Amino acid sequence: DGGITQSPKYLFRKEGQNVTLSCEQNLNHDAMYWYRQDPGQGLRLIYYSQIVNDFQKGDIAEGYSVSREKKESFPLTVTSAQKNPTAFYLCASSVAGGTNTGELFFGEGSRLTVL
């Protein structure tokens, strides 16, 4: 089945540690995105990538890093510089980005808790 796979589903981190969230898609989509969702709130864009080897900061990129070395993979690292990392993280992809951004396909999310 085509789709987006996020792992792990649940992750616990001690303060001061970096953690990496995995996002893999087999939809052959060019664009991929990382969003953060806090309880009772909407989604805020962390980073997005419209093509391999290129990515742009979203609205809340501080304390996060990404890479896009392969079309199907867009891992997100939550660094120790992110002061309040406890949240639900959602990865998504779309056929294209830019002004033609259409439907986003989402993974099931990764819930990160800082102990």
Partner 1 sequence: SQQGEEDPQALSIQEGENATMNCSYKTSINNLQWYRQNSGRGLVHLILIRSNEREKHSGRLRVTLDTSKKSSSLLITASRAADTASYFCATGPGSGNTGKLIFGQGTTLQVKP
Residues contributing to the site for partner 1 (CB under 8 A): 4, 6, 31, 33, 35, 41-45, 48, 50, 56, 58-59, 88, 90, 92, 97-109, 111
CB of 49 to partner 1, least distance (A): 9
Residue number, 58 or 75, with CB nearest to partner 1: 58
Residue 6 near residue 110, CB atoms below 8 Å: yes
Residue number, 15 or 84, with CB nearest to partner 1: 84
Task: Please tell me the chain's helix, strand, coil percentages from 3-state DSSP, rounded to the nearest 5.
Answer: 5, 50, 45
CB of 16 to partner 1, least distance (A): 27
Residue number, 78 or 89, with CB nearest to partner 1: 89
CB of 104 to partner 1, least distance (A): 6
User: And the tokens for 38?
Assistant: 């806090």
Bond into 85 cis (ω within 30): no
**Separation of CA 9 from chain center:** 13
Residue 87 near residue 36, CB atoms below 8 Å: yes
